[in-house]
Structure 1
Amino acid sequence: MERNVQDIRIGKRIRHDIGDISSLKESMKRYGMLNPVVITESGTLIAGYRRLQAARELGWSTVRVKIMPNTDEADLIEIEIDENLHRKPFTEDERTDAFLQLERLRNPGLLTRILRGLRSLWRRFLGLFTRSR
């Protein structure tokens, strides 16, 4: 379901500072909105404040929404807390692995050349070590 971005009302929020959303806007330009914003039946934003703001700044007229029926003020706060507390960012190792996989898929020749070069250096190193004996 979609809703006009101007029809979504932003009520009292826990998060006041949305931070830098430039990378989010780039992602949304490239892939679209991966997760819909969550609103009440009357159109008040529950979750997805940064996504909504990014969509507005990108000039989008509509966004995908999920409507949560029968929500009271306590539900709104609980859902906002829940969305922001239960996400887990990548560990440093996971992030590194993800970028290595992406690089391997985008530039397989480069990675192959690097690995061959490292193997050649290793063989030279071993050759120097065995000659010195």
Structure 2
Amino acid sequence: MSDKGHIELERQIDSIIVGVRHRRDLGDISALMRSIEEVGLLQPITVTPDGVLVCGLRRLEAMRRLGRRTLNVWVRSGISDRLSHLLAQQDENEQRKPLSPVETARLYEEIKILEKEDSERRQAATRFGSIGNDGGANGGSESLPPHGKTNSIAAHIVTGSDASQRLDRINWIRSVAEDESLGTSVREFAANMLTEIDNDAPVAPAYKRVKAAVELASSPPPPSQDEEDEVARLAAEALKRVQEEENAKRLRALRSKTKRAPKHHSPRSFVLMWSELEGWTALYDIGELAAALKDEDWARFERVVAETIELRDRLREARTAAASA
């Protein structure tokens, strides 16, 4: 026996209570009737301990039309009294305190769980078959409703119409109000929205407000000015390091290329270049240069000057040696 329920054999069909809120458009159940005639009822219907139908109206009606008097049922325990009363309700105008929107959403969620259990049992029985206590096959199958259809069935049972989206939104707001991982202010805001919904406020605006509150609470706070300054400083240092590394990489590549395959320009090119550079130092303002040059610019200038002086000294020695020869 399961802690959720148990199989009961040979329950009288006429003893099962079907409330008015169950869907009445059963569709074509002839294929289901043929399946039951051939291999029996594959999956028992679900009832409350008091015999109120929860799931399986099509299976119940197919068995009744086949002239059967009894059938196996799954007796589901743990169903709330409010839901049992709603399922058993025979008169829609019965005098009772009407359910609030939040209460209705809770019962809708309960019905969805029961419908999901029933669907999973049918799916397992269809896939593997099911052997009853009498040793015979409980065969026969009924098409399994998609998730959206299950929600629609549950909403129709509870409200008499397909209000699944509205009820799902109310239950989501309730989940936010009960979520201990969220901040107190967000939970209290969600609880206040539920109170307003119970007082006939529209659900859609409340849902959007709570959703916005949750998204805002989950977003990181904007950085302070000190944090922004620190990020900017670190970014500038990182950029400088990257530029220095790139410059060093280019220099190494240039030196490596020069060592591997030196390609000298002609003496005429040398003469022309220095003819063009003659007097170039008078073209610039020292103060303006000092203020404008970056560290990497100055490092490049000093490197070129050092290379030029080195070339001058080597060239002077070579010319002196050539004159002495």
Q: TM-score, normalised by structure 2?
A: 0.25
Relative to its length, the structure with more strand (as a share) is 1
C-alpha displacement at 1:59, in angstroms?
Answer: 0.6
Secondary structure of residue in 1 paired with 2:42: coil
* Greater alpha carbon shift after TM alignment, 13-22 vs 24-33: 13-22
Tell me, yes or no, if the aligned pair for 1:38 and 1:46 is still in contact at 8 Å.
yes
- In structure 2, what is the equivalent of residue 6 of structure 1? 14
Residues 51-91 of structure 1 deviation map (CA, whole Å, 9 limit, x = unaligned):
0000000010111101011212126632465344449xxxx
Identity of aligned residues (%): 36
CA RMSD of aligned residues (A): 2.2
Match of 1:27 among 9, 30, 35: 35
Tell me, yes or no, if the aligned pair for 1:38 and 1:48 is still in contact at 8 Å.
yes
Match of 2:61 among 53, 65, 71: 53
**Higher Cα Rg: structure 1 or 2?**
2
- Give the number of equivalent residue pairs: 87
Residues 3-27 of structure 1 deviation map (CA, whole Å, 9 limit, x = unaligned):
1000011114353311011110000
Tell me, yes or no, if the aligned pair for 1:37 and 1:51 is still in contact at 8 Å.
yes
Residues 84-130 of structure 1 deviation map (CA, whole Å, 9 limit, x = unaligned):
4449xxxxxxxxxxxxxxxxxxxxxxxxxxxxxxxxxxxxxxxxxxx
Unaligned runs of 5+ in 1: 88-133
For the pair 1:62 / 2:70, whether they are aligned, the reply is: yes
Unaligned runs of 5+ in 2: 1-7, 84-106, 120-144, 149-325
Q: Counterpart amino acid of 2:111?
A: I
Q: Counterpart amino acid of 1:78?
A: K
Residues 18-44 of structure 1 deviation map (CA, whole Å, 9 limit, x = unaligned):
101111000000010000000000000
Q: TM-score, normalised by structure 1?
A: 0.58
Secondary structure of residue in 2 paired with 1:16: coil
Tell me: CA distance 1:80–1:49, structure 2 relative to 1, closer, same or farther (3 Å). farther
Relative to its length, the structure with more helix (as a share) is 2
Q: Within 5 Å, which residues of 2 pair with 1:67-86?
A: 67-72=75-80, 73=83, 74=107, 77-79=111-113, 81-82=115-116, 83=119, 84-86=145-147
Whole-Å Cα distance in 2 between the matches of residues 15 and 76 of structure 1? 17
* Greater alpha carbon shift after TM alignment, 22-31 vs 69-78: 69-78
- In structure 2, what is the equivalent of residue 18 of structure 1? 26
Tell me, yes or no, if the aligned pair for 2:47 and 2:55 is still in contact at 8 Å.
yes
Whole-Å Cα distance in 2 between the matches of residues 23 and 64 of structure 1? 20
Whole-Å Cα distance in 2 between the matches of residues 10 and 67 of structure 1? 15
Tell me: CA distance 1:20–1:53, structure 2 relative to 1, closer, same or farther (3 Å). same
Q: Counterpart amino acid of 2:44?
A: P
